[in-house]
Amino acid sequence: MPAFDLQRRIFTEALGTCLLVATVVGSGIMADTLTDDVALALLGNTLATGAILVVLITIFGPISGAHFNPAVSLVFALKRELPRRDLALYIVAQCLGGIAGTIVAHLMFDLAPVEASLRVRTGPAQWFSEGVAGFWPGGNNPCRHPLRAAGRAMAGRALYHRGLLVHRLHLLRQPRRGAGAVSDQYLLRDPSGRSPGFRHRGNPGSSSCTCPDELVATLPLLRSPCIKGLDLTVTIYHNPDCGTSRNTLAMIRNAGIEPIVIEYLRITPSRDGLKALIADAGLGAREAIREKGTPFDELGLADPALSDDALLDAMLAHPILINRPFVVTPMGTRLCRPSEVVLDILPETHKGPFAKEDGEQVLDAEGKRLV
């Protein structure tokens, strides 16, 4: 470590982590505010992330090493490049800096300073992918290339600095009109050394899309297959425990479309997103609220004096109150109860017959609607 005193190095780590997180979170919020195009928002967020990393590493690298991540500091300590007595202080500074950066970004956009995450991020697959992303060896070992990401088709998506994992980004987009996607991003520098440019990358089951060499935005099924000239993106707000929701999802897939599936009990829409979703379906908040199997009665929501805003507040506090499933396509938005309502906003590209879980036939052998 260069000859800078510990106090200056700790302050640098805290400041750098704060600026990095503020940029990542702030650019994500700004992208969501400016556009409903998921790909464009991911591109804007990723370019901002890559740019700030280059700037921060260039400025702060000579002072503290520009770790900005406890895992990076831990590995440097194990390699004896960071005194172990300094490790705890580095980690504390990075955590505090990250929290401060998130709060700063939220305040800049007039959001609540602190929000609880509703997405579960644990389990064997999650931890295994983290290990693979951080330490998996390969022919294009990121240790050989500064600011190079390992381009592996794994769940983990990583950004490296000096051969160590310095950043992973899981971005939850909840656009204003209700559509949404969960996706990972990482910055990619072409291992072949070719100059930056544009090339075509194909997604499974979709037409190829154009991406910069520095960007890989993963969500393989973000775009469904082109159907009669229409690049159809379908989003379903799904509850896997609900038979109607399962039938609706199965009917979408029977049309040859792989939708974006948002389990809204785990990933609750934003207030504006939920409000727009209900409005786009041509409903009021009371028509979109679920009574059966929910705390509807306990909360006194049957009171006709309650406003739509009050009902929205209840749905956001208790997502089980959001009726299901809502489906969004370019042909419209519907609360699909009964499930065959989804056929009103899908193209007539069904693969064949379809019956609900209870045996009710919905489509005949030629894919023609029966109900």
Report the C-alpha gap between 317 and 100 in whole angstroms: 26
Whether the ω angle into residue 338 lies within 30 degrees of 0, i.e. cis, is yes
Q: Which two tokens stand for residue 343?
A: 């056929």
Residue 170 has a CB neighbour count (10 Å cut-off) of 11
Report the C-alpha gap between 188 and 73 in whole angstroms: 22
Q: Which two tokens stand for residue 242?
A: 């609900």
Determine the residue type at 140.
N
CB of 142 within 8 A of CB of 150? yes
3-state secondary structure of 42: helix
Report the C-alpha gap between 303 and 180 in whole angstroms: 32
DSSP string, 248-309: HHHHHHHTT---EEEETTTSPPPHHHHHHHHHHTT--TTTTB--TTSSTTTTTTT-TT--HH
Report the C-alpha gap between 60 and 54 in whole angstroms: 10
CA atoms within a 13 Å half-sphere pointing along the CA-CB vector of 69? 20
Report the C-alpha gap between 96 and 17 in whole angstroms: 8
18 is annotated as an active-site residue: no
Catalytic residue among 18, 209, 226, 242: 242
* Catalytic positions, written as ranges: 242
